Structure 1
């Protein structure tokens, strides 16, 4: 599933002219929601069914599409950090993938740029399952996710720190840390959702 996500991201970036990178982040936001449903079903009956998970989204596709804009905000944060680290040429490099960007970014600079979005994405990591599994609206799912992460700041902060380290190392290691630990991190996210989100259901629905 992790390889599929990376493959779709690359295909969108290559297939969509000029703005393929921003569009791919939005598409990944959509697929991320489907993955939450797939993991939920995997936990229930032990079978991973991606296409069945996509069908289960049903009438919530428009809501999921709106929620997927969060991925664009995370990406824009990374672009902003890139502009601070690399200068104005970072826009051509990170948004348009222009070969004439005139910017030579080291693997460590790229790692810093990519990992910059992790804290914000951690705050909102429970928004998709709140929308698709718990049935909340877009706004309430975002608020509920932020409340849960802040309420459990220590374990979620440690998870965010671990993710930042792995993402920071990814450009220098051909994405191996992310590919090897990504499935485990997805399962950790599901366990965290089960443990802290559903235990707090009554408070979240007030």
Structure 2
């Protein structure tokens, strides 16, 4: 039995759509770009924001940095709480913890926001380790996040990737797990389609 369960946050434990897409909309507006349809901004849920602004709107690296700063202007006190926990998640986490699993949170969202969201929804008590990215853009890719999470979980002991599942809703979760030799579980109620997860070669 695998003992260590790494969970993604956005689209896996909580539905952050309104907060994330509205803050992206706010950032785009500052560049004179109007996008009234929040559904079209769903691809921003999951990957690092800088990458998304460059990929979807052709921003330069410098413009992407500006856009992220603008996004955070609204997100840090408003967008962060335009979010809700998926039904059954607290009960599931409590059940897993009671059965002796070690639970960890591994998110590409900045750690300071991850901690606040978990505290706000009273979920932090279930996690032995919580790892996010840094506001300065370091530890932003999923493989870096997974690597740091494993390091904190196993501490000075040898890391046992065969004892770990990474659970998430996007290809980035699957790819990050694969890079570290960890099996992945794709959830299909989030923001990645079943096809996306299969294509990324999710194990389950």
Q: Larger Cα Rg: Structure 1 or Structure 2?
A: 1
Bigger helix fraction? 1
Q: What TM-score does the superposition give when structure 2 sets the normalisation length?
A: 0.30
TM-score scaled by structure 1?
0.30
Question: Using CA pairs below 8 Å that are at least 6 residues apart, which structure has the higher relative contact order?
Answer: 2
> Going by fraction, where is strand more abundant, 1 or 2?
2
